[in-house]
Amino acid sequence: MRPISADVHARGEGLVSQPARQTIIDQWTGLHATALQAAMRMSQDEMAALIGVAKRTVAAWSEKPETIIRPELQRALDTAYGRADEAVKLRFARQLKADDDAEAAAASGVVALAIAIAVVLRNAEVLLVCRRDTDPSGITWQFPAGIVKPGATPETVAIRETLAETGVHCSVRGELGSRVHPLSGVSASYFLCDYLAGEVENRDEIENTSALWAPTEDVTRFIPKQRIFPPVLRALEGEQ
């Protein structure tokens, strides 16, 4: 069952004007638990410690959002949500609305905005770009990404946009997963890529101020850990 949230489906601004505490989850799923984790800005380790489960359980919620969580953990999630402050509850409601909007768009045949994100590795380094204008989502440093237009494949977009933004040629090793981005609300697909050739440079000076290779162990100095998609974080930690 979908969450009951005051005025969420009636109008978008309801999420701002209505108290976030009115959101009620009848049955927690992996999608809801992952949304709560993002709203609380917690890592998988932190979320696991809060709920009292293994990290792999939290990872499974992200990978299988349709999973119905077992009863004793339903109660633990109720408690975690109930103790959260209003800012967390508001972010949680926004994420659920973004998920609902994506679901509604898919059901109606409307093409939702989709992006392909390239996580390009070169030995123990990852490729990053710095956006020129502050992104509405609050992110500055990002992985190279591009909009997936109708008829294009996400893998091709990831490779093409990486070259266009940074001058780096890469190949896709595999897909890391996809999600509705908790901050921007777009449908994001993530691809683990291998460096092939090219010297990094900022080729898109209109959009970006810089492009560089960052040590994978230092990536959270550029992008807050809680904002990194968990499968991406695991890949950067060498768990792929």
Residues 142-196 pLDDT 10s: 999 999 988 899 999 999 999 999 999 999 999 999 998 877 778 999 999 999 9
Does the pLDDT value for residue 11 go beyond 50?
no
- Indicate if 95 and 142 belong to the same structural domain: no
Lowest average pLDDT, out of 33-47, 55-69, 95-109, 153-167, goes to: 95-109
Asked whether residue 90 is assigned to any structural domain, the reply reads: yes
**Is residue 1, in this structure, part of any structural domain at all?**
no
Tokens of 69: 């969580």
Quote the domain boundaries for residue 161: 114-236
Nearest to 77 by CA among 115, 47, 44: 47
**Mode of pairing for the β-strands spanning 114-122 and 187-197:** parallel
* pLDDT tens track for 72-102: 999 999 999 999 988 888 888 887 877 666 6
CATH number at residue 190: 3.90.79.10
Domain membership of residue 210 (yes or no) is: yes
Look at residue 13 and tell me whether its pLDDT is greater than 50: no
Q: Distance (Å, rounded) from C-alpha 96 to C-alpha 12?
A: 12
* Model pTM score: 0.56
pLDDT value, residue 2: 40
Both 121 and 228 in one domain: the answer is yes
Residue 8 CB neighbours (<10 A) = 21
